[in-house]
Each structure stands twice: as structure tokens, then as C-alpha cells.
């Protein structure tokens, strides 16, 4: 069947009508990419620049790569041999496609693609002659395996005395590719560390009235983002903000000075280069008065403090604060018209809010001074902090649902809310509200915070204190408004239903924080959080049982102890330092080493791999880098050899060919008995590898 397909391909190529300026040999039928050179003009005049394109016809189910291949792969490369004075530029890369392969995300092309290049003739070129050039093309084509392919392509082009006509076929095709290729569009782009990753804000006239829902950023540098993580889009009146998961370039709290790449949006693509800075308000959905769009550069201390005060007031309207304020609504309702108790709680809430703002600001200022590239909300950049906050939100929601009580008995909800212990609860609520509100940035906040972080620590703390006062002011003022408090209903049975209804915003806050954790740490840490959440819920239920038992005169100690142990274990599960993924200790591969180990009667696992191989990297993540496989290799004393084909190696290529393979991955397992190697599937699971290793020990 493969032979027939090859014959059909060869015949189709033989009878195709070539461009007048191009002559190419028919490609061998084993290739997955048919490459040739095409031009937009049938000739070239002295001093003229035209375009020549590398055309790739890619076999169905396979793909080649963009300039940044993503998590694996390699871009296409071309090297020219041409007469003196002739110049060919680099590829003008079309916008790539996203190609998801298991847990990896790659960028590349499928089907047919043209990669144009500018070709310039010297002024000394002689009309009537022909110019002959040669291009050596190296590309990587992948499906479930990756195969490097090389081509040597020749082109001959007549030199004319004047500009020639456009090639009737390839001229329009190349022109369309050039017109659609990403270009600068007078867009302004900045980026800043964000609680859920990196906020990339892009504004400009080209984005107005454009559908931004499917916007995506393709970076030029493969290390700046985690390609496999989703890119959340927030639309604004002047542009958009993308939330990106940081890559290796952001490790250690450092950030690159710029991020360049392609923004694909609304069927168009634009080249952008973002600098480190505060995103303008117009890039988000909130908008802001024009006076605040300068980023706060010209503000003084008084103006910055006023902006911070206004921003703090508006912050109370942000969705991320609603769940926390629900707790205070329940507290105020519990006081009815008792203004003295309400004032005490209002002051406690305000003190907790302001002190927490100052504490977070102090930490932020210290980290900035140490050179860390972080921004407001930095505490939510830590997965353990996010996980603990999610569990705290869940515990608060379970308390509001009545599963257990804090500082009161079931019979004394109304009086307990007004008790002394309620002041500590109010302080805690103010602190928690600030921690969770940090991801939100209200209008006026951005310029004020941006200015504050460029000033002395004293000036910065004044601005942050103003922010805290603005944030706490509505609740404190409400607590000091006897006329409003007196209108609240007196405590009664209605409060129980009201309080339980307010639990649901807290459940929503816990779920939102779980989503943030998933973006930061992935599915494995999310599974741990869910397990811890079940333990917290069980601990809350046991605490409630203990309270009920105490009310009826029983001994609650065993239940309290069990609840405490579960609570501690749940916190440890999400905060205890986790081991990194297991890793097999590999030796470099050579045929001589294989022969030596087999002569010793050792089991040998040979991994033919490459850094650009998609399937290889997926298998490394999901199968070979697992505890089960590492333990199986150790238990059966298997020697792990890695045949790295990232750089071309004739020895490895010969071994692949001898095993009937044109590319990687290839996995061979030699048993202890000296028999032939067993070939494992191209797609591995831990169970496949472990079973093969156990069987190899018996052969």
C-alpha cells in the first residue's frame, strides 16, 4: 500500500506544470514533505527585489514548525549558495497554528505552506544572463514520530533589463501570504507579573471594534511562557489583556526586559514587542478616565494618595471582594440596631484591612528592592498560598452553611456575633478581604500603585495606607451610621437562612482560587487541593458534631482531636514541599556500551529521542518520569541509555534504520537472557514500561 502511494505521488509530481523559472527534481516517495522553490516573478532586473518562497506540501497528519516551535520541534532552516552580490533574506513567517500533542503545545503548519523570502539582485547583474542558486533545506516533520528531512533545491532565473511580469500562479499566492503575514501596527504593549501569571496588555487603534475573544500570543522566545497553559483574555475599551503562564525566563522572581511575538486576533496578526511596565487601564474591561492613562508617571504624593483612596473605595465593587464582604453583611445583620457593637466591629474590620495592606506593601517593596520582578497581588503567585486561601474560603463557607460554628454555640448565634470574639473575626475578615482582593485592580489604582513602587518606601507606604483606608471606609462608615443600623431587622430566625445564602459566594471564591491554582501548578496540584478540600469538609463536620455533643453534655474531645488532625493534614498536603517529577539516571548511548552491558547479563533500555521530538517529550513526562517506572528500573537493575538525536548522528540514524524506523521515538528493551530486543510502542504509559521491564527480567 505504501509503495502504491509512493508511485502515485511520484507520478503526480512528474506531470505537474512547473513555474517557468524553477526546475526541481521529483522527491523520493518516502518523504513526508515535498519541498520546492517558487517565485512571484518570472525574472529579475538588476537592482530589483522580488520574493522567492519555500513551498512545503506536508503529508496529511504531519506538521512542520514555526520560528518558535513551542514545547518541542525545530523550525525549518535554509542555507543559500548564490553568486556574489545576490542576497536572500530570512523567512517571512506566516502566522502559525496551535498544535496540541498530549500535554505539550507546539506551533507550526499543516497542509501546504509558503515561506517567502526577499531576493535582491545586484546592480551589476547583466541582462540576458541567468542566475543559478542552490538552497539546502533542513526541516523537521512530525506526527506520532518525528523525522528530519533534508533537501537540496536548485533555481535558475533569467535576468531582464526591466521589471518582469508577475508569475500567474505563484505571484498572487505569495502576495496573499505577504499581506497576511504579521506586521507592526502601532500597538502599545506592556507586561507585568500577575497573580495568575504574566499580564500582557496591548492597546491601539487596530484593536478597536475587533473580536478579541480568540486572541492568542505566539512568543518569539520559547522560554518566556508555558505554551501548554491557556491564555485568558480580558477585553477593554482600548485593547486587551492576556494572562500568560510564565516560562523559564521568569524563574527566580526575575523577568525579561521585553517580550516579543505575534498577537493573532480577529483574523489578523500583528508583531508586538512588550516592555516591562504597568498595564494601562484601557487594556482591561474596567476603563478609566483619560487623566489616569499615563501610568502615573507625573503624579505627586498627594495625587497618588488621592487616586489610591478612590481606587480603594471602588475596589469594594470588584467581584473578587463580594464573597468576603458577605461575611460582614451577615455580621451587621446580627447586630440589628446595636450601634455600639457595630462600631467596634467596623473599627476592627478597618484596622485589619489597613494593616494587611501595609504588610503586603512592605513585602512587595522589599522584594522589589531585592530585584524581583513582581507586582501587586504577588502573594497569589505562590501556589501554596493560593491553595491555603481556597481551603480557608471553603471553611468559611461551611461555617456559614451551619456545618460548624466559630466562637458561639448553636443556640447563641445572635449574641455570639456581638461578643468579644466577634472583634477578632472582624479583624480577620478585613485581613482576608485584602489578601483576596489583591488580584483586582480598580480604576485609579494602577497609576497610584505604579507611582508608589518607584518612590521611597515611606511615600509608597503612605499610598498603600490610603488604599487601605479607601477599601475599609464603606464598612466603617456604615458601622458608625446609627440611623442605618437601626433600620436593620432585629436578630431572629430569618438570620439562619440569610447566613446560609451568603455561604454560596464563599464557595464561589474557593472554586475561583482552585482555578487559579490549576493555571499555576497544573492538574496534579489541583487533585491534591481537592483531596485536602474533602478533608477540610470532613473536619468541619466533625467539629460540628463535637459542638452538638458538648451542648448535650457529651465528651467532644475525640471528635475535636480528629477534626484537628484532618485540618493539619489538609494544610500539609497543599503546603509541604513536593518532590519534583522522578527522573531516570541515563548514560550516553553507544553500540559498544550496549554490547558491554549485554555481555554482563544486564537488562538495557535504550531511548532513541530528541529535544525537538513531540512524542518523545510527551512520553518522558507521562511515562518515563514517573515513580513507578523509576522504581521498576531500580528493582530489576535496568541500565537506561539515552540515544540523543537532537543533533544529527550517523550512528543513531543507522541504528534507527536497522530497526525499520526513519525517526524517533524508538524504545528498545534488551532482556537479561541475551535475546533480541523488544520494541515498545511509540506512545508509552507507565504500565506498559513496568510490564515490559518485569518481562525482560525473565528473558
Q: What is the pLDDT of residues 490-508, one digit of tens each?
A: 555 666 676 677 778 778 8
By percentage, how much of the chain surpasses pLDDT 90?
32
Instruction: Find out whether 236 and 283 touch, Cβ atoms under 8 Å.
Output: yes
pLDDT value of residue 284: 60
| Edge-to-edge strand ranges of the sheet holding 77-81 | 77-81, 130-142, 146-158
- CATH number of this structure's domain 2-180, picked from the four choices 2.60.40.1250, 3.30.70.60, 1.20.1050.10, 3.30.450.40: 2.60.40.1250
Distance CA 543, CA 402 (A): 11
Interatomic CA distance for residues 115 and 234, integer angstroms: 33
Q: What is the pLDDT of residue 274?
A: 93
Q: What is the pLDDT of residues 214-226, one digit of tens each?
A: 899 999 999 899 9
Element (H, E) at 154: strand 146-158
Q: Which of 121, 106, 218, 112 has its CA nearest to residue 173?
A: 112
Please enumerate in sequence order all residues whose Cβ is within 8 A of that of 11, keeping only pairs 6 or more positions apart, or say none.
Answer: none
- Residue 522's pLDDT is 65
Residue pair 619/684 in contact (Cβ under 8 Å)? The answer is yes
Ramachandran region, residue 606 (left: φ > 0; alpha: ψ -120 to 50; beta: rest): beta
At residue 109 the predicted structure's pLDDT band, cuts being 50, 70 and 90, is very high
Residue length, the chain?
699
Q: Kindly write down the DSSP assignment for every residue of 378-428, as one continuous string.
A: GGGGSHHHHHHHHHHHHHHHHHHTTSS-SSS-GGGHHHHHTSTHHHHHHHH
Closest CA to 404 of 249, 544, 566: 544
Backbone angles phi, psi at 153, to 5 degrees: -115, 135
Closest CA to 348 of 421, 406, 409, 400: 421
Quick one: average pLDDT of 200-204?
92
Model confidence at 510, in pLDDT bands (50, 70, 90)? confident
| Higher per-residue pLDDT: 138 or 440 | 138
Peptide bond into 665 cis (omega under 30): yes
> pLDDT, tens digit, for every residue of 151-188?
999 999 999 998 888 999 999 999 999 999 999 888 99
Average pLDDT for residues 121-136, to the nearest whole number? 95
Phi, psi of 144 (to 5 degrees): -85, -15
Cα–Cα distance, 80 to 134 (Å, whole number)? 6
Q: Which of 26-30, 437-441, 541-545 has the lowest mean pLDDT?
A: 26-30
SS (H, E, C) 478-508: HHCCHHHHHCCCCCCCHHHHHHHHCHHHHHH
With 70 as the cut, is the pLDDT of residue 461 above it? Answer: yes
- 247-256, pLDDT tens digit by residue? 878 865 677 8
d(CA 511, CA 322): 14
The C-alpha cell of 315 is what?
Answer: 475596589
**What is the distance between the alpha carbons of residues 678 and 635, in angstroms, rounded to a whole number?**
19
Higher pLDDT, 551 or 285: 551
Predicted confidence band of residue 484 (pLDDT cuts 50, 70, 90) = low
| pLDDT at 14 exceeding the cut of 70 | no
Separation between Cα atoms, residue 540 and residue 528, nearest integer Å: 18
Fold of 587-696: Glutaredoxin (3.40.30)
Q: How crowded is residue 456: how many other Cβ atoms within 10 Å of its Cβ?
A: 11
Query: CB-based burial of residue 532 (10 Å sphere; 0-12 exposed, 13-18 middle, 19+ buried)?
Result: buried
Residue 420: is its pLDDT beyond 60?
A: no
400 and 499 in contact (C-beta within 8 Å)? yes
Over range 292-302, report the average pLDDT: 53
* Cα 5 from Cα 36, distance rounded (Å): 20
Query: CA triplet 225, 230, 231: central angle to 5 degrees?
Result: 75
**What pLDDT is attached to residue 417?**
33
* 8, pLDDT greater than 50: no
| Average pLDDT for 665-680 | 89
Least trusted range by pLDDT, from 428-442, 496-510, 655-669: 428-442
| Average confidence (pLDDT) over 536-544 | 91
Q: Which residue has the higher pLDDT, 479 or 13?
A: 479
d(CA 309, CA 303): 10
Q: What is the DSSP letter of 205?
A: G
Amino acid at each position: 500500500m505504501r509503495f502504491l502511494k509512493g508511485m502515485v505521488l511520484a507520478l503526480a509530481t512528474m506531470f505537474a506544470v512547473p513555474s517557468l523559472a524553477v526546475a526541481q527534481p521529483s522527491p523520493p516517495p518516502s518523504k513526508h514533505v515535498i519541498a520546492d522553490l517558487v517565485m512571484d516573478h518570472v525574472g529579475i532586473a538588476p537592482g530589483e527585489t522580488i520574493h522567492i518562497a519555500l513551498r512545503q506540501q506536508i503529508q496529511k497528519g504531519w506538521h512542520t514548525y514555526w520560528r518558535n516551535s513551542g514545547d518541542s520541534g525545530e523550525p525549518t532552516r535554509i542555507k543559500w549558495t548564490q553568486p556574489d552580490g545576490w542576497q536572500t533574506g530570512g523567512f517571512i513567517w506566516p502566522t502559525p497554528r496551535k498544535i496540541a500533542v498530549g500535554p505539550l503545545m507546539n506551533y507550526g503548519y499543516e497542509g501546504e505552506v509558503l515561506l517567502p523570502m526577499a531576493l535582491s539582485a545586484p546592480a551589476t547583474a547583466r541582462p540576458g544572463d541567468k542566475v543559478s542558486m542552490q538552497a539546502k533545506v533542513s526541516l523537521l516533520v512530525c506526527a506520532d514520530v518525528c523525522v528530519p528531512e533534508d533537501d537540496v533545491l536548485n533555481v535558475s532565473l533569467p535576468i531582464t533589463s526591466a521589471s518582469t511580469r508577475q508569475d500567474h500562479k505563484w505571484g498572487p499566492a505569495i502576495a496573499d501570504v505577504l499581506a497576511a503575514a504579521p506586521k507592526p501596527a502601532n500597538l502599545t504593549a506592556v507586561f507585568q507579573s500577575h497573580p495568575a501569571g504574566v499580564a500582557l496588555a496591548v492597546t491601539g487603534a487596530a484593536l478597536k471594534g475587533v473580536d478579541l475573544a480568540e486572541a492568542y500570543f505566539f512568543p518569539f522566545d520559547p522560554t518566556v511562557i508555558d505554551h501548554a497553559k491557556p491564555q485568558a483574555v480580558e477585553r477593554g475599551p482600548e485593547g486587551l489583556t492576556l494572562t500568560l503562564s510564565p516560562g523559564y525566563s521568569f524563574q527566580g522572581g526575575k523577568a525579561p526586559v521585553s517580550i516579543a511575538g505575534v498577537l493573532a486576533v480577529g483574523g489578523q496578526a500583528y508583531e508586538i514587542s512588550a516592555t516591562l511596565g504597568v498595564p494601562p487601564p484601557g487594556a482591561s474591561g474596567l476603563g478609566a478616565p483619560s487623566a489616569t492613562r499615563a501610568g502615573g508617571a507625573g503624579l505627586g504624593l498627594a495625587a497618588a494618595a488621592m487616586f489610591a483612596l478612590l481606587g480603594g473605595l471602588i475596589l469594594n465593587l470588584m467581584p473578587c471582594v463580594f464573597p468576603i464582604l458577605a461575611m460582614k453583611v451577615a455580621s451587621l445583620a446580627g447586630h440589628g440596631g446595636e450601634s455600639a457593637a457595630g462600631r467596634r466591629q467596623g473599627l476592627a474590620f478597618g484596622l485589619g484591612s489597613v494593616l494587611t495592606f501595609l504588610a503586603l506593601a512592605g513585602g512587595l517593596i522589599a522584594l522589589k528592592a531585592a530585584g524581583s520582578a513582581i507586582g501587586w497581588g504577588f502573594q497569589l503567585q505562590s501556589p501554596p498560598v493560593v491553595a491555603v486561601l481556597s481551603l480557608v474560603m471553603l471553611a468559611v463557607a461551611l461555617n456559614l452553611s451551619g456545618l460548624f460554628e466559630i466562637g458561639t454555640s448553636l443556640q447563641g448565634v445572635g449574641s455570639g456575633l456581638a461578643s468579644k470574639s466577634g472583634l477578632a473575626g472582624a479583624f480577620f475578615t478585613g485581613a482576608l478581604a485584602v489578601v483576596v482582593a489583591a488580584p483586582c485592580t480598580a480604576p485609579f489604582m494602577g497609576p497610584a500603585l505604579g507611582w508608589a513602587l518607584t518612590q521611597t518606601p515611606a511615600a509608597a507606604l503612605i499610598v498603600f495606607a490610603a488604599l487601605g483606608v479607601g477599601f475599609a471606609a464603606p464598612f466603617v462608615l456604615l458601622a458608625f451610621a446609627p440611623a442605618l443600623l437601626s433600620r436593620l431587622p432585629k436578630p431572629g430566625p430569618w438570620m439562619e437562612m440569610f447566613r446560609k445564602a451568603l455561604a454560596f459566594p464563599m464557595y464561589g471564591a474557593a472554586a475561583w482560587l482552585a482555578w487559579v491554582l490549576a493555571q499555576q501548578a497544573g492538574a496534579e496540584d489541583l487533585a491534591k487541593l481537592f483531596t485536602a478540600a474533602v478533608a477540610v469538609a470532613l473536619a468541619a463536620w466533625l467539629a460540628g458534631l463535637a459542638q452538638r455533643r458538648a451542648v448535650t453534655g457529651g465528651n467532644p474531645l475525640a471528635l475535636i482531636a480528629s477534626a484537628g488532625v484532618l485540618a493539619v493534614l489538609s494544610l500539609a498536603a497543599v503546603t509541604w514541599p513536593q518532590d519534583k517529577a522522578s527522573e531516570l539516571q541515563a548514560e550516553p548511548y553507544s553500540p559498544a556500551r550496549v554490547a558491554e552491558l549485554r555481555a554482563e547479563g544486564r537488562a538495557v533500555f535504550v531511548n532513541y529521542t530528541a529535544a525537538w521530538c513531540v512524542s518523545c517529550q510527551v512520553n518522558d513526562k507521562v511515562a518515563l518520569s514517573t515513580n513507578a517506572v523509576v522504581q521498576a528500573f531500580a528493582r530489576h537493575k535496568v541500565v537506561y541509555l539515552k540515544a540523543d538525536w537532537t543533533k544529527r548522528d550517523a550512528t543513531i540514524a543507522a541504528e534507527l534504520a536497522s530497526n525499520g524506523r526513519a525517526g524517533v521515538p524508538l524504545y528498545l528493551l534488551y532482556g537479561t537472557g541475551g535475546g533480541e530486543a523488544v520494541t515498545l510502542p511509540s506512545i508509552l504509559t507507565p504500565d506498559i514500561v513496568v510490564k515490559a521491564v518485569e518481562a525482560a527480567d525473565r528473558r
